[in-house]
Structure 1
Amino acid sequence: MASKIKYKVISSFKDGKDKNKEYNVGDSYPKPANKKISEDRINELSSNSNKVGKAFIEAVEE
């Protein structure tokens, strides 16, 4: 069974697509961990392809 990729916050942000939920550096993303997030949203938050122009999350190796 393949493990699900996990992400951690590398730059604090408020998730405008999730009721402005606050994420701080070191937090896991998403909250709760079993919440379904689209691949497009992960790509947006893990790259500079967003309104702010910087990455907010990164994949965590387990």
Structure 2
Amino acid sequence: MSKYIVVKDFTDLEDGNYVYTEGDKFPRKGKCKKARIEELLSTTNKRGEILIKEIEEGD
């Protein structure tokens, strides 16, 4: 299972406006839909910026 870390602060409109800050794990709890992960990994989100990145298990 992939793990992700926040690379730019953002407010997650799909998580009750939860504020993620750089270095936070994403998602903070449970699972997230693949489409949402792909959106945040790319520039096809409302911010137009990459907001998370995939990390290695040892990171």
Question: Aligned-pair RMSD on alpha carbons?
Answer: 0.7
Task: Give the distance between the partners of 2:31 and 2:26, measured in 1 at CA.
Answer: 11
Code of the residue aligned with 2:38 in structure 1: it is: N
Unaligned runs of 5+ in 1: none
Partner of 2:12: 15
TM-score, length basis structure 1: 0.87
Q: What SS does the aligned partner of 1:40 have?
A: helix
Task: Give the distance between the partners of 1:7 and 1:54, measured in 2 at CA.
Answer: 15
Deviation at 1:51, TM superposition (A): 1.3
Percent of aligned pairs with the same amino acid: 40
Equivalent residue runs for 1:36-47 within 5 Å: 36-47=31-42
TM-score, length basis structure 2: 0.91
Give the aligned length.
57
Code of the residue aligned with 2:26 in structure 1: it is: Y
Task: Give the distance between the partners of 1:57 and 1:29, measured in 2 at CA.
Answer: 8
Deviation at 1:36, TM superposition (A): 1.7
